[in-house]
């Protein structure tokens, strides 16, 4: 048993703090996503939003997140991982709380766009922080732990909605989103910049410190790696946002309208169960990849996600959904542990934050159309058919991933 978690127990204090900070930031990021997804029904009724317009709200958030992710990736390279992490968490927590004050679709759209800036910046800064704090031997498992926090955040968001929404309404749900702001005080007080980043800052020339050589990302081997990472992540994110933005609505929508007719408490409970599968999928990736290589494990996750998504979309039995749902979570979201591991290995310290931020968030820009597209398709073909379409994204990502170069000591 010690072999399973001994690497974590034997970590330094700085490694544990970096892992905790990045995990908390990512967990609270996902909590916000789930808050919106679960209160989508009441918002639609109060603001008279169509399914397509509801998807546009999420799409706008993703576009904004992409802009924030690219900007904060550069900021993390130039001014530090912890500073970037602090500001990104603060922005999305304040933005989430502001959504509770929205009284029109345009106001809600503005607040969702603002919080997206911070939501996008958190991943690049947190992942770079952990990648540089942890050594190569345990980096994969550490990054997998960070990714697993997404599932915890989803479950936390579902629990908040189940408790708050029936008694206080959807606005109060968003007010809970201000709580992550408290985490920023701990981050600034307890964390130091990674030694790897500090060493580059001390030895580099002044203009290289404040202006990382971003042009190098688009040339030669780095340019090829960036193209592969960006495109495969875009395909995976199209599938992810296409299905998981709509799963809570799919479960709660009346059966006559193509849903599964669960009430809000049951929908929240089902969502938590799905996230248990997601959590295990994230964590398991780090251990499986240490045996079968990062690349092969990543591709296998994507192919199995493509197989389980259509099955989930057309199941009608609540028990069957309860069985297959966690498998969709395991493979359909667990694969992102692989992306964070692979992308952190493909780029040097001087541009790691910028590269990871660019690769991840170009994917977000492309995937921004997915929530709208699924909502639009569902209006004519039904939500089950629309959700099944997302399997194509996972399949395409797997095909692109075959072009990844061999990196890291996990490759045999």
Dist CA 258 CA 314 (whole Å): 10
Dist CA 198 CA 182 (whole Å): 26
Residues of the chain with pLDDT > 90: what percent?
16
Spatial contact of 393 and 238, defined as CB atoms under 8 Å apart = yes
Region of 80 (left: φ > 0; alpha: ψ -120 to 50; beta: rest) is: left
Dist CA 82 CA 27 (whole Å): 16
Q: 13-189+218-401: what fold?
A: Growth Hormone; Chain: A; (1.20.1250)
CA dihedral 122, 112, 365, 212 (to 10 degrees): -40
Helix, strand, coil % in the chain, rounded to nearest 5 = 85, 0, 15
- Range from 86-100, 131-145, 310-324 carrying the lowest mean pLDDT: 131-145
Domain boundaries in the chain?
A: 13-189+218-401
* pTM to 2 decimal places: 0.72
Q: Is the pLDDT of residue 412 over 50?
A: no
- Mean pLDDT, to the nearest integer, of 237-261? 79
Exposed / middle / buried, residue 89 (Cβ in 10 Å: 0-12, 13-18, 19+): buried
141-153 pLDDT, tens digit per residue, is 888 888 888 878 8
Dist CA 155 CA 163 (whole Å): 12
With cut-offs at 50, 70 and 90, classify the pLDDT of residue 58: confident
- Range from 71-85, 104-118, 159-173, 232-246 carrying the lowest mean pLDDT: 71-85
Spatial contact of 112 and 61, defined as CB atoms under 8 Å apart = yes
- Mean pLDDT, to the nearest integer, of 350-358? 78
- Mean pLDDT, to the nearest integer, of 328-343? 88
Q: What confidence score (pLDDT) does residue 407 get?
A: 58
Dist CA 118 CA 85 (whole Å): 9
Helix ranges, 169-219 (H): 170-175, 181-190, 195-203, 206-210
């Amino acid at each position: 048993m010690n072999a399973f978690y001994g690497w974590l127990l034997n970590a330094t204090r700085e490694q544990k703090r970096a892992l905790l900070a990045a995990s908390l930031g990512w967990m609270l990021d996902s909590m916000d996503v789930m808050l919106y997804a679960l209160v989508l029904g009441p918002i639609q009724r109060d603001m008279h939003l169509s399914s397509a317009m509801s998807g546009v709200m999420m799409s706008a958030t993703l576009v904004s997140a992409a802009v924030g992710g690219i900007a904060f990736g550069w900021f993390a390279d130039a001014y530090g991982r912890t500073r970037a992490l602090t500001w990104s968490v603060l922005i999305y927590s304040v933005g989430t709380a502001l959504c509770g004050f929205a009284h029109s679709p345009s106001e809600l759209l503005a607040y969702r766009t603002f919080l997206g800036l911070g939501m996008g910046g958190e991943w690049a800064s947190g992942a770079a922080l952990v990648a540089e704090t942890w050594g190569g031997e345990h980096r994969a498992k550490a990054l997998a732990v960070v990714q697993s926090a997404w599932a915890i955040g989803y479950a936390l968001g579902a629990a908040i909605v189940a408790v708050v929404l029936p008694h206080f309404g959807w606005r109060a749900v968003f007010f809970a989103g201000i709580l992550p702001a408290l985490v920023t005080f701990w981050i600034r007080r307890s964390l130091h910049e990674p030694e790897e980043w500090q060493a580059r800052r001390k030895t580099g020339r002044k203009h290289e410190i404040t202006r990382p050589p971003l042009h190098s990302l688009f040339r030669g081997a780095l340019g090829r790696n960036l193209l592969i990472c960006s495109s495969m992540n875009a395909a995976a994110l199209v599938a992810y946002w296409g299905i998981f933005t709509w799963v809570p609505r799919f479960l709660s929508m009346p059966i006559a309208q193509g849903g599964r007719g669960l009430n809000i408490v049951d929908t929240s409970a089902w969502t938590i169960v799905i996230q248990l599968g997601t959590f295990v999928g994230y964590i398991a990736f780090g251990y499986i990849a240490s045996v079968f290589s990062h690349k092969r494990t990543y591709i296998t996750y994507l192919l199995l996600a493509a197989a389980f998504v259509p099955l989930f979309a057309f199941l009608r039995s609540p028990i069957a959904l309860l069985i297959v749902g966690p498998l969709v979570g395991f493979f359909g979201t667990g694969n992102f542990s692989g992306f964070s591991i692979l992308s952190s290995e493909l780029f040097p310290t001087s541009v790691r934050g910028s590269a990871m931020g660019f690769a991840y968030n170009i994917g977000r820009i492309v995937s921004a159309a997915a929530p709208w597209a699924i909502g639009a398709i569902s209006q004519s073909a039904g939500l089950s058919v629309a959700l099944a379409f997302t399997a194509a994204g996972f399949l395409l990502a797997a095909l692109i991933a075959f072009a990844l170069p061999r990196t890291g000591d996990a490759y045999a």
